[in-house]
Amino acid sequence: MVKIQHIPLHILDIILQDLPKKTLFQCRTVCLKWNSVVTKYLFREVRISGDIKAFFDVWEVKGTSGRIDPREYDVPHPILNQDPYPSLTSLTIASFHSTIPSSLIHYISTRFVNLFTFYVYFVYPRNIISLGETYSRLLDGRIAHPKYNFVFHFDVNDGAGRNFTGTQREIAHMVTECLSATFKHRSVLPKVRNSLRISKQSFTANRMLLTTSLTNHGDKQMHCLVQSGLEFSDIINQRVLSARNLSQHLHQLAIEGEDSNIGLSENDYSSIEKCPLIYELTFFRVRLQPFENHVYKSVKILNISSAQVHVDFFQTLGARCPHLEDVTLSGICVIGPNSTDSHVVIDFQDIKLRRLNLYSLKNGAFMNAPCLLTIKTLRKHLHIKVEGWKALAKITEEEAVECHAQNYSRYYIYCNDIQELTIHGKLVLLYSDDIDEQ
């Protein structure tokens, strides 16, 4: 009988693919006793928790002393088998230590060449700040491969009851290290767009979740989502950022709050101004006041969703974002003088917009209740009756008066000019009598 180790790889691959699932599962159970040439064709996902040494044993990574201590950061551990594992696309590691051995990082980077999803969990690490270096090594190894598409989840849970202020400071410093490591690759990926989303959530008071993804469909985009108890200013004002000029490499910024009743701090507004290349700015679930004393010259796209926005915010927007071209409003509630649930005024007459996208202008009401939308530019004055998500109709002045008598909620939008208007994704042709149904 021919031993399985002696079967040519291309034939073995065909055999394993044709096996029934149950038999394949049984093969996976016993294949660890076989030559490792078999295992790389069987596993598509691996999870490691507890003893990292077990991982080395399974994948034939041997230490000279016969054991692996995760605290031994740079101890060399020769790898016996250098074959890549092309089928493995998902890997999960959980650790109670602050570091991962460099030999394991090298092992992952060189052998799991098609790894797409990578989860790393650190539970109660002793040294939070040192995790930035671990993150950087793991990320460097993944970007080294020509296939850039990947998702990297970096989860740090420090719920050990230490001093809250000190822990937050350490987390902020560690996050800046991670972001610096992420966006420094602009020299390797010169045309990549760097996108950062800061999500403040109370349940992450002593926890940080950093999700990094790189997509290579058309334009390359490096996106980081930071979920923690940190403000944007806590991150951008760290000294490490000034030293490495991270603020000089951000192109898209999104700030997500926990409660739309809570506004951004003055430090947050100032921190945004320190990022001169941001062309797209997104606010989600926050309370927005006018950008007093701040000018964002690079911002061309503004997205506001599920937020409370003071009426003066729109009136000063042209002076604060002089090159603004594209605005999207979704689920916002306009607050301030002369704005009520049934009468809302959005006034940015000093702006010439290339595109205005409207969804629900008041949480729930614009989606479900019929309302009358009045758009006035220097060239056009029209009324649009909106009923739900799909029913849009341009109406005459007489019909608008009738809607007013029926107590329709009324929304007034004043703008210097709008080249393109969409409502619920439908294109409204401002300077004709039609609404594009596509």
**Mean pLDDT of all residues in 278-299:** 91
| Residue 64 token pair | 């000279």
Asked if residue 360 has pLDDT above 50, the reply is yes
Residue-level pLDDT at 73: 35
Greater confidence (93 vs 435) lies with 93
Could you read off the pLDDT of 389-424 as tens digits, one per residue?
Answer: 667 888 888 988 888 888 788 888 998 889 999 988
Could you read off the pLDDT of 262-278 as tens digits, one per residue?
Answer: 888 888 888 898 888 99
Residue-level pLDDT at 158: 66
Report pTM.
0.78
Greater confidence (406 vs 103) lies with 406
**Mean pLDDT of all residues in 216-232:** 79
Asked if residue 196 has pLDDT above 70, the reply is yes
Asked if residue 48 has pLDDT above 70, the reply is no
133: nearest Cα among 91, 99, 167: 99
- Which span out of 20-24, 180-184, 189-193 was modeled with the highest average pLDDT? 180-184
Asked if residue 244 has pLDDT above 70, the reply is no
CA distances from 106 to 14, 48, 80, 154, 396 (A): 30, 16, 13, 18, 69
Residue-level pLDDT at 243: 42
CA distances from 305 to 42, 278, 336, 357, 358 (A): 45, 18, 18, 11, 10
Residue-level pLDDT at 434: 55
Greater confidence (105 vs 167) lies with 105
Greater confidence (430 vs 73) lies with 430
**Mean pLDDT of all residues in 278-291:** 92
- Which span out of 26-40, 163-177, 268-282 was modeled with the highest average pLDDT? 268-282
Greater confidence (315 vs 241) lies with 315
Residue-level pLDDT at 189: 58
Greater confidence (114 vs 57) lies with 114
Greater confidence (163 vs 48) lies with 48
**Mean pLDDT of all residues in 53-57:** 49
The torsion region of residue 306 among left (phi > 0), alpha (psi -120 to 50) and beta comes to left
Distant-in-sequence, close-in-space partners of 350: CB < 8 Å, separation ≥ 6 = 318, 319, 416
Asked if residue 303 has pLDDT above 60, the reply is yes
CA distances from 268 to 93, 258, 291, 299 (A): 34, 15, 11, 16
Mean pLDDT, the chain, rounded, equals 73
82: nearest Cα among 42, 52, 37, 145: 37
Could you read off the pLDDT of 424-436 as tens digits, one per residue?
Answer: 888 888 876 555 5
CA atoms of 11 and 29, how far apart (whole Å): 21
Could you read off the pLDDT of 364-377 as tens digits, one per residue?
Answer: 445 566 788 899 98
Residue-level pLDDT at 218: 62
Residue-level pLDDT at 232: 80
**Mean pLDDT of all residues in 201-223:** 75
Residue-level pLDDT at 164: 41
Greater confidence (360 vs 212) lies with 212
**Mean pLDDT of all residues in 190-213:** 79
Residue-level pLDDT at 245: 63
| Least reliable range by pLDDT among 136-145, 258-267, 273-282, 327-336 | 136-145
**Mean pLDDT of all residues in 247-262:** 86
The string of DSSP letters for 24-79 reads: HHHHHHHGGGS-HHHHTTT-SEEEE-S-HHHHHHHTTB--TTS---TT-TT----B
